[in-house]
Chains A and B, each alone.
Chain A
Amino acid sequence: MTTGNAGAAQAAVLDEGVASVAAPAARRRTGLHRRQWSALLYLAPAVLLYGLFVLLPALHTFWISLFSWDGVTLASWVGFDNYRRVFTEPLLRSSVLHALVLILFFAVLPILLGLVLTAILSRHRRRGMSAFRVIFFLPQIVPLVAVGITWRWMYADDGAVNQLLRAVGLGSLTQAWLGDFDLALVAVGLVGTWTLTGLTTMLFLAGAAKIDTALFESARIDGAGAVREFFSVTLPALRGEIGVALTVTTIAALASFDVVYVTTNGAPGNTTTVPGLLVYRLAFTDGKVGLASALAICLTVLILLVVLVINTLVGGQDRR
């Protein structure tokens, strides 16, 4: 799920090619294959819980999405009409669009920043890195609701962001950030950038640390500067890490709910609505449970598609 590890999923897909060849041989040697049916007992509890609380509700969502239902009275069958509405109604369509814009701030920006920082920081070992790491991970462990409230205050009329702008002589730029039609989505997106940049940076630094130093040496002997060294050595080596980071952060963008819920709740106008927010709103306050379910299904399909695309793009050549 969103809390789970999508990066792992990607790694797993990469891993599969190897596993399917190697594992059966290994198992045959262990001689455990005779006990195969009892092995199901180990698997059953997890499958049962997962099936009952994740897979079945997922199917049920699809089922509900075929009805017009207010959540209390009888439902009526509408077939795929709810899906038509997801694609045609401006409110629903724009929420998906906003989620796509958030990818820019949740995924692209943190990864670019992470790469720049890695380019500068990875060339040499530094003392005190473990302390920095503890700090940079901090936004990751804090509940997103708390992150949202914190930034709501940061962005407020008399919050720290405006205070800072005034301090550096940009007082004319101050405003209620979350109330501005053109900037609210950007402001919410930057909260994502703040939350995820530490993660991507640390991920890339860990990846860069694994690079054989000989590669750097030879690049330097060839007369490569810092820039060329980064593009010819570091960046290619980080391919896997970039894929993981991209998967994780993109899902975070598409399935965002917590931060939007507490900062803007979709306002102003509907400029910051995201699918997660509308699923909640449609199902539990507006009495459009079927429509909410259709949107949830569309969101999921979108996420699966994006993960698939990222896997193909980044994972393609890693398959040995």
Chain B
Amino acid sequence: MGRMQRPARVVAMAALAALVAACGGLTPGSGGSSSSATTASSTSSAGSSSATGSASGSDSASGSGSASSGSAGSSGSGSASSGAPAVPTAVPTDTIELKMAFTDSPDMTKALADAFHAKYPNITITTQYTQFNDYVKSLKLTMSSATPPDIVQYNAALKDLSAAGLIKDLTPYEQAYGWDTSFPKSALDMLRVDSTGKILGTGKLIAVPAGLSLVGLYYNKTLMKKAGITAPPATLADFEADLEKAKAAGLTGLSVGSLDTGGLHLWGSLLNVLWDPQAQRDWVNGKAGSTISTPQALQATQKVGEYASKGYFPSSANGTSENDSATAFAQGKSVFHINGNWAAAQLAKALGDQVGFSVMPPATAGGKAVGNGFSVSYAVSAKTQHPEAVAAFLNFLQSPEATKIEAEGGFLPPNAKAAPAATGVLGDLVTANQKVVGDDGLIPFQDFAAPAMLDALESGLQSVIGGKEQPQAFLDSLQSVWSEYHS
């Protein structure tokens, strides 16, 4: 390639341009299916140097697959959210098989699928589990393939795909089913995205929640006693004192696995309690002018490095996966563990009454309950052949049957009133969830801020833990990823 001579390259490019014009699907910009507008704009770019093109074609893919709601107009901006045509809410009666890709809580997901099948025996849902890191990595590829799963667990990557027309706009179903009243407003608003796919909280609904998630502090009561800790920490200072006590007693304070996620939950939770929740939300949601280069974020990052150097968590953290760190806690190898509610079922099974859960202790006594959380929610492929069956499943998520399963899975169900009373760590979770919702303290995960953010967070936090990067440099790198995406 590199040694190809100049005339040859010109010829090759001309040939390529001709070919592009012929097949219309080869240049960047054409997305999946091609439209004549895309081809025209990209072919012209072969001659001139500007190829920004018009906004057309950005929704070219939405024309494929099933008959989609809204007109496939050429403006590409929110056509469906207003005045959407009515969609049927009758559950189909023919035999239907739906595919569902997900990454959180295999047991709960399977139970939901089975319960739905029990209610509507003609509809079967096949679930496909993928571990979180691989799930995020492959999600774009999966959803833009020719045969995507019908239902897909929501992740930030879906925002971009929705802008490309690959994710179904659920607003018409929201209106037909009346989800705006049967689901909590705050939970649905988190799942709205504008037509650019970059601004959250407004625009079309692209997913429906099965339960709210929350990251917090798990503690092992037996080991706490052994270390001389009498109660779960009430403030961050208490927490650090407890970690010191654990160390003095020869125990591992925290179980952290940063091999695949960089210890994201530890950092995120510290950030949550140290920085203003609304500022954090703005940053994640991409509000113009937001920055993470703040003294509070710096303090949170410094603490991560400090905990590592003080030996509050094992030096092998960078060689331990997230899953392994949860397993280690489940095996009684550490006093504390910061993780999401999705781990509750597994931990309760292993540790029984020994394990408890609380929100991350606030910076000052009596501070607000805050925590990283989102919802386990499900979006729909624009290519699904069975939109009515899928919508019926989404509607099923707030039914009493589903509510029971969601609560048992450790989530705060969308229909909280129908949730059964819970005990043990699951009861702790409900309490914590309600506190956080009551204090309006739920903060979406930091990696949602930009597609490349997860990688930047992972490698950066590993470096902070390994003492290889200064906290400020880490924050600057995050901000540059943010700026590049939101520019």
Report A's interface with B, CB cutoff 8 A.
56, 58-60, 62-64, 67, 69-77, 79, 155-157, 175-181, 265-270, 281, 284-290, 297, 300-301, 304-305
Tell whether, in the assembled complex, residue B462 and residue A269 are in contact, meaning their CB atoms are under 8 Å apart: yes
Tell whether, in the assembled complex, residue A179 and residue B317 are in contact, meaning their CB atoms are under 8 Å apart: yes
User: Quick check: is B41 within 8 A (CB to CB) of the other chain?
Assistant: yes
**Apart from A75-B28, A176-B316, A284-B141, what are 17 other A-B pairs with CB-CB below 8 Å?**
A63-B27, A67-B29, A72-B61, A72-B163, A74-B58, A76-B53, A77-B50, A179-B320, A266-B459, A268-B462, A268-B463, A269-B460, A269-B462, A285-B451, A286-B455, A289-B28, A304-B2
Partner of B31, one of A73, A284, A286: A73
Shortest Cβ distance from residue A278 to the other chain B in the assembled complex, whole angstroms:
9
Complex interface: chain A residues within 8 A of B13 (CB): 59, 63
Complex interface: chain B residues within 8 A of A265 (CB): 133, 260
User: Which of A58, A155, A181, A269 has the most CB atoms of chain B within a 10 A radius of its CB?
Assistant: A269
Tell whether, in the assembled complex, residue B49 and residue A284 are in contact, meaning their CB atoms are under 8 Å apart: no
User: Quick check: is B78 within 8 A (CB to CB) of the other chain?
Assistant: no
Complex interface: chain B residues within 8 A of A73 (CB): 29, 31, 58, 160, 163-164, 197
Tell whether, in the assembled complex, residue B458 and residue A267 are in contact, meaning their CB atoms are under 8 Å apart: yes
Q: How far is the CA of A56 from the CA of B1 in the complex (A)?
A: 11
**Chain A, Cβ-Cβ closest to B48:** A77
Complex interface: chain A residues within 8 A of B161 (CB): 72
Listed from nearest, the 9 A-B pairs whose CB atoms lie closest are: A179-B319, A176-B319, A179-B318, A72-B164, A75-B28, A301-B2, A269-B463, A77-B51, A69-B28
Complex interface: chain B residues within 8 A of A71 (CB): 28, 140, 144
Q: How far is the CA of A288 from the CA of B485 in the complex (A)?
A: 10
Partner of B160, one of A72, A177, A268, A304: A72
Shortest Cβ distance from residue B308 to the other chain A in the assembled complex, whole angstroms:
12
Tell whether, in the assembled complex, residue A176 and residue B318 are in contact, meaning their CB atoms are under 8 Å apart: yes
User: Quick check: is B36 within 8 A (CB to CB) of the other chain?
Assistant: no
Partner of A301, one of B1, B29, B58: B1
Tell whether, in the assembled complex, residue A62 and residue B28 are in contact, meaning their CB atoms are under 8 Å apart: no
**Chain B, Cβ-Cβ closest to A175:** B316
Complex interface: chain B residues within 8 A of A69 (CB): 28-29
Tell whether, in the assembled complex, residue A63 and residue B16 are in contact, meaning their CB atoms are under 8 Å apart: yes
Q: How far is the CA of A308 from the CA of B242 in the complex (A)?
A: 62
Tell whether, in the assembled complex, residue A284 and residue B137 are in contact, meaning their CB atoms are under 8 Å apart: yes
User: Quick check: is B45 within 8 A (CB to CB) of the other chain?
Assistant: yes
**Chain A, Cβ-Cβ closest to B144:** A72
Known: A77-B50, A269-B466, A286-B455. A304 touches B3 (CB 8 A): yes
Tell whether, in the assembled complex, residue A59 and residue B16 are in contact, meaning their CB atoms are under 8 Å apart: yes
A/B interface sample: 30 pairs, CB < 8 A? A60-B16, A60-B26, A62-B1, A63-B13, A67-B28, A72-B160, A72-B163, A72-B164, A73-B160, A75-B53, A176-B315, A176-B318, A178-B259, A179-B320, A180-B318, A180-B466, A265-B133, A266-B455, A266-B459, A267-B459, A268-B463, A268-B466, A284-B137, A284-B141, A285-B157, A285-B454, A287-B160, A297-B1, A301-B1, A304-B3
Report B's interface with A, CB cutoff 8 A.
1-3, 12-13, 16, 19, 26-29, 31, 38, 41-42, 45, 49-53, 55, 57-58, 61, 133, 136-138, 140-141, 144, 157, 160-161, 163-164, 166, 197, 258-260, 262, 315-320, 451-452, 454-455, 458-460, 462-463, 465-466, 468-469
Complex interface: chain B residues within 8 A of A67 (CB): 28-29, 51
Q: How far is the CA of A67 from the CA of B260 in the complex (A)?
A: 31
Q: How far is the CA of A76 from the CA of B463 in the complex (A)?
A: 34
Known: A63-B16, A156-B319. A74 touches B140 (CB 8 A): no
Complex interface: chain B residues within 8 A of A266 (CB): 455, 459
Q: How far is the CA of A155 from the CA of B259 in the complex (A)?
A: 13
Known: A63-B13, A176-B319, A179-B320. A76 touches B1 (CB 8 A): no
Tell whether, in the assembled complex, residue B160 and residue A179 are in contact, meaning their CB atoms are under 8 Å apart: no
Q: How far is the CA of A67 from the CA of B26 in the complex (A)?
A: 13
Complex interface: chain A residues within 8 A of B3 (CB): 304
Complex interface: chain B residues within 8 A of A267 (CB): 259-260, 262, 318, 458-459, 462
Q: How far is the CA of A288 from the CA of B455 in the complex (A)?
A: 13
Tell whether, in the assembled complex, residue B2 and residue A70 are in contact, meaning their CB atoms are under 8 Å apart: no
Complex interface: chain A residues within 8 A of B28 (CB): 63-64, 67, 69, 71, 75, 289-290
**Chain A, Cβ-Cβ closest to B19:** A56
Q: How far is the CA of A201 from the CA of B379 in the complex (A)?
A: 55
Complex interface: chain B residues within 8 A of A58 (CB): 1
Known: A72-B144, A76-B51, A285-B137. A179 touches B259 (CB 8 A): yes
Shortest Cβ distance from residue A224 to the other chain B in the assembled complex, whole angstroms:
44
Q: How far is the CA of A267 from the CA of B456 in the complex (A)?
A: 11
Complex interface: chain B residues within 8 A of A290 (CB): 28
Q: How far is the CA of A279 from the CA of B338 in the complex (A)?
A: 33
Shortest Cβ distance from residue B105 to the other chain A in the assembled complex, whole angstroms:
23
Q: How far is the CA of A79 from the CA of B458 in the complex (A)?
A: 31
Q: How far is the CA of A157 from the CA of B197 in the complex (A)?
A: 42
Q: How far is the CA of A178 from the CA of B55 in the complex (A)?
A: 46
Tell whether, in the assembled complex, residue A77 and residue B458 are in contact, meaning their CB atoms are under 8 Å apart: no
**Chain B, Cβ-Cβ closest to A187:** B319
Known: A62-B1, A176-B316, A269-B459. A77 touches B26 (CB 8 A): no
Complex interface: chain A residues within 8 A of B455 (CB): 266, 281, 285-286
Q: How far is the CA of A71 from the CA of B454 in the complex (A)?
A: 18
Tell whether, in the assembled complex, residue B2 and residue A300 are in contact, meaning their CB atoms are under 8 Å apart: yes
Complex interface: chain A residues within 8 A of B317 (CB): 179
User: Which of A77, A175, A179, A266 has the most CB atoms of chain B within a 10 A radius of its CB?
Assistant: A179
User: Which of A180, A267, A287, A297 has the most CB atoms of chain B within a 10 A radius of its CB?
Assistant: A267
Complex interface: chain B residues within 8 A of A62 (CB): 1
Complex interface: chain B residues within 8 A of A59 (CB): 1, 12-13, 16
Q: How far is the CA of A179 from the CA of B1 in the complex (A)?
A: 37
Complex interface: chain A residues within 8 A of B163 (CB): 72-73
Q: How far is the CA of A75 from the CA of B452 in the complex (A)?
A: 18
Known: A67-B28, A267-B462. A176 touches B52 (CB 8 A): no
Tell whether, in the assembled complex, residue B316 and residue A284 are in contact, meaning their CB atoms are under 8 Å apart: no
Q: How far is the CA of A77 from the CA of B42 in the complex (A)?
A: 9
Partner of A268, one of B137, B166, B318, B452: B318
Shortest Cβ distance from residue A108 to the other chain B in the assembled complex, whole angstroms:
25
Complex interface: chain B residues within 8 A of A284 (CB): 137-138, 140-141
**Chain A, Cβ-Cβ closest to B463:** A269
Q: How far is the CA of A289 from the CA of B141 in the complex (A)?
A: 13
Q: How far is the CA of A268 from the CA of B454 in the complex (A)?
A: 14
Complex interface: chain A residues within 8 A of B463 (CB): 181, 268-270
